Structure 1
Amino acid sequence: MIKYSVVVPIYNRPKELDELLESLTLQEFTDFEVIIIEDGSSISSEHIAKKYQSLLKLLYFSKSNEGQGFGRNFGVKYASGEFLIFFDSDVIVPKEYFKTVDAYLEDHKIDAFGGEDKASDDFSDFQKALSYSMTSVLTTGGIRNKNQNAGGNYQIRSYNCGIKSELFREIGGFKKTNMGEDMELNNRLEKLQVLKRLIPNAFVYHKRRGDFKSFFKQIFSFGRTRVQLKNMYGISIKIVHLFPVGFVLFTLFAVLLITFNTDYRYLPIGLLSLYFGAIFVHSTVSTLNLKVGFLSTIASFIQHLAYGLGFLKEVLFPNKK
């Protein structure tokens, strides 16, 4: 039987940690330990950790702020499990998660794995809309949850993934602490031809919070990070990453056509309307909720705009740090 070590960095989010730890107490498979790393928070989660110490095999550490990647590295030093499981603090873990993972790993000799992220039925309409925009095939091509089992090249994501402890330590853990640290890790694993898989049904509920303004800032950073990863580590940029750039340029083109009152001024607006109309219909049908469909349309627009602008910003005015 495999033993697991769950490593979770936390920064100013005690309520999120409470929900995550509560979900871990409900697991059908219980042979795992939990390591919480308070990464320089000004709002401590120590009282939340103490609340669950009698219910879970739990270790809590507080340290100066370095970011989630190095926070995970810190926690791994105290991990005793054969497999490390990394969760973000804003996920909720279904009760079948570890049972599903353990059964898969018993039958498949792999070195690392990942799982999907979804919205739970009890999430707010806003949270469901953000989840749709981040995972839908119409917005991201479904790249976050794409099953690449045929080639063993699944891109693990640090909000929900696992890796053999021995391998993680051998390669030195995360080398980048924020934004894209999992992509840099993937890059090294692929160079080593490590076998990675998406485990079907090993999903988590990703409870994104905030507002559209903070969502824009986050996605803008994602766009910049994609270029930085190419410049710093040679990680290739895929066609799907260029789609938001095309969206920004196409939207600018549409504005210019309308501004100068050309004969074709309504054509690009019509195409954009068709695209976002499809998003509205697809989201509404998949969630059975008109409000979620409407919010998903706004979230998807913001996502494309922010990522494209962030990408272009880093190409034209790169960060020299």
Structure 2
Amino acid sequence: MRYTIIVPVYNRKNEVEELLNSAESLDYPREEFEFLFVDDGSVDNLKDFLNDYHSKSKLNYRYIYQENSGPAGARNNGMSNSDSEYFLFLDSDCLLPPQWLKEIDLGIVENNYDAFGGPDTFHESFSPVLKAVNYSMTSFIGTGGIRGSEKSVEKFYPRSFNMGISKAVYDKIGGMRLRYYGEDTDFSARIYDAGFKVGLISEAFVYHKRRTSLPLFFKQISRIGMSRIVIGNLHKHMLKPIHLLPAMLILGLLFLFILSILIPSIFSWFWIPVFIGFLLICLLAFYQSYKMYQSIKIGFLSILALNIQVFGYGYGLLKAIWRFHIIKENIENK
């Protein structure tokens, strides 16, 4: 078989059903690919659901159960239980457009990629909150284009929500070595270090739900901030001043707050420019979001999502610095 699509799952049976429903429309020969769902200790009867699922287009799919060990362990388990030419990774909260697999195949053939990834975007059926989160995670002012844009502030590192590798990559460097924090970014860096050809297949996008509420989005983005410090410890070149800007912003605002209490007379000299800059960024976010969705509500939600992303990421950076560098918590297996 040419492709095994590995999907780690933990209590996400409803997402698996939506993913499979979208996969029914994939424009690619059924004998050339399979889905491998790796159940990471779920208790929602995913196995029974898959046993009862009847594919309208004769999709091939398999199921593996493991004790809970995290998404990286699930992907490694999937790779060790497959002998396809390529392993593709998806998150369970993704939906697939019909051309997804065909675009991947075309990208591999044209560019001879050993490893690759595609972007994520929104589906029209997504809720206003999901669309706002999508704006924040894909806009240049939100992430700098690092999740799959042709214009990016740094080299493209495939992420496991939409990523693939050849079996030759797995045979040479093995699987993912981190459990939770930045396991896919570390994996991509090791692939580069091993000399393999890595690239972006921009047309192979997926519809990615991510987190369904703003509080859950904050929790997710703070973990991503923590992972940047973990990655920086393993790959020094991957922790740059630009990555620390959200943490510096939080510390700077805290310093200004304390200073303005101690010296009230300087309040206007510092806070007025800060407020004007903040307002301009919010207006830009609203404009870009409104242009994308034609919705005032989503425009305001996008402002909230962008601020949650910046401050959540900064909080995660500071938390990781405290845990792994100040109190010296063991960073291994993170």
| Coarse TM-score class (shorter-chain normalised) | over 0.9
2:35 matched to which residue of 1?
A: 34
Are 1:75 and 2:70 matched, yes or no? no
Number of aligned residues? 318
**Partner SS for 2:81:** coil
**Partner SS for 2:169:** helix
Distance in 1 of aligned mates of 2:146 and 2:242: 8
Q: Supply the AA of the counterpart residue of 2:59.
A: L
**Partner SS for 2:63:** strand
Distance in 2 of aligned mates of 1:293 and 1:99: 34
- Whether the 8 Å CA contact 2:146–2:156 is kept in 1: the answer is no
- Cα gap change, 1:85/1:317 in structure 2, threshold over 3 Å: closer, same or farther? closer
1:320 matched to which residue of 2?
A: 329
Match of residue 95, structure 1, among 72, 94, 98: 98
Distance in 2 of aligned mates of 1:320 and 1:185: 23
The alpha-carbon deviation at position 280 of structure 1 amounts to: 1.3
Matches within 5 A, 1:132-211: 132-147=135-150, 154-211=156-213
1:268 matched to which residue of 2?
A: 274
2:6 matched to which residue of 1?
A: 7
- Cα gap change, 1:105/1:269 in structure 2, threshold over 3 Å: closer, same or farther? same
Quote the RMSD (CA, aligned, Å). Answer: 2.1
The alpha-carbon deviation at position 248 of structure 1 amounts to: 1.5
- Cα gap change, 1:240/1:60 in structure 2, threshold over 3 Å: closer, same or farther? same
Moved more, 235-244 or 303-312: 235-244
Distance in 2 of aligned mates of 1:126 and 1:148: 25
Q: Supply the AA of the counterpart residue of 1:176.
A: L
The alpha-carbon deviation at position 255 of structure 1 amounts to: 3.7
Moved more, 306-315 or 120-129: 306-315
The alpha-carbon deviation at position 240 of structure 1 amounts to: 3.4
- Structure with the bigger percentage of helix: 2
TM-score calculated relative to the size of structure 1: 0.92
Distance in 2 of aligned mates of 1:56 and 1:294: 41
Match of residue 61, structure 1, among 58, 64, 68: 64
Q: Supply the AA of the counterpart residue of 1:279.
A: A
Distance in 1 of aligned mates of 2:36 and 2:268: 62
Distance in 1 of aligned mates of 2:242 and 2:251: 15
Moved more, 43-52 or 71-80: 43-52
The alpha-carbon deviation at position 148 of structure 1 amounts to: 7.8
- Whether the 8 Å CA contact 2:145–2:151 is kept in 1: the answer is no
2:313 matched to which residue of 1?
A: 307
TM-score calculated relative to the size of structure 2: 0.89
What 5-or-longer segments of structure 1 have no aligned partner?
none
CA deviations 1:148-192 (Å, max 9, x no partner) are: 89x9x5311100011001221321111112121111111211111
What 5-or-longer segments of structure 2 have no aligned partner?
none
Q: Supply the AA of the counterpart residue of 1:135.
A: T
- Cα gap change, 1:139/1:250 in structure 2, threshold over 3 Å: closer, same or farther? farther
Q: Supply the AA of the counterpart residue of 1:45.
A: L
- Whether the 8 Å CA contact 2:132–2:301 is kept in 1: the answer is yes
Distance in 1 of aligned mates of 2:323 and 2:36: 39
- Whether the 8 Å CA contact 2:6–2:78 is kept in 1: the answer is yes
Q: Supply the AA of the counterpart residue of 1:208.
A: R
Q: Supply the AA of the counterpart residue of 1:320.
A: E
Moved more, 103-112 or 243-252: 243-252
Moved more, 309-318 or 153-162: 309-318
Are 1:238 and 2:240 matched, yes or no? yes
Q: Supply the AA of the counterpart residue of 1:308.
A: G
Q: Supply the AA of the counterpart residue of 1:104.
A: G
The alpha-carbon deviation at position 232 of structure 1 amounts to: 4.0
